[in-house]
Amino acid sequence: MGKKLLMVVGDFGEDYEIMVPFQALQAVGHEVDAVCPEKSAGDVVKTAIHDFRGDQTYLEERGHDFQLNATMSDVDPADYDGLVVPGGRAPEYLRTHDIVLDTVRHFFETEKPVAALCHGPQILAAAGVLEGYEMTSYPAVRPECEAAGCSWVDEVTTDGNLVTGQAWPDHPEWIAQYLDLLDDDEPRD
């Protein structure tokens, strides 16, 4: 039975980290609502493509326009079975929105499955939900995660209700572990 999932995105979120899980989760029967604070269903966010070419950090280029299919101020996190938090540059400003932090806290308080990738854990750190977790993130975000009370590891990791990966090259393992969590979760009424 498909689950109802919420994905929080924003301008210059990483293209692959938004598009690939959005489509992959739908392809296996889940419903995914993509939302962004201060934007409505039908609006678009601009994505960025991050590439790894041997430099000290990633190269960023303009990606696609990604159309939102729900309005964040209209959704109730209680109506969702899981949360997806992609990376890119969006998390650095999304974490300043109370609606985003309150939404994230709901999923941790209710122990619903959460998948966070790359810079996405910046939002989780700002929400104060990482204490005691073992997790990963983009390596440059490691100090923030550890300051938020987690134990950082160098691999895709599932700990309780949280699945984390470092960047889009982790998609196969990260998405598979998230699907396992969703399968283990009780079906919706």
Count CA atoms closer than 13 A to 104's CA, side-chain side: 28
Whether 119 is catalytic: yes
Q: Which residue of the set 119, 145, 150, 171 is catalytic?
A: 119
In total, the chain counts a number of residues equal to 189
Q: How far apart are CA 187 and CA 189, in angstroms?
A: 7
Q: Please identify which of the residues 118, 145, 150, 171 carries the catalytic annotation.
A: 118
Q: How crowded is residue 10: how many other Cβ atoms within 10 Å of its Cβ?
A: 26
Query: Rounded distance, CA 84 to CA 32, Å?
Result: 9
- 6 DSSP β-pair partners: 33, 83
Closest CA to 158 of 139, 126, 188, 185: 185
CA distance from start to end of the chain: 11
Q: Give the position of tokens 């499955």.
A: 113
- Helices 171-184, 15-27: axis angle to 10 degrees equals 40
Q: What's 186's DSSP letter?
A: P
Catalytic residues: 118-119
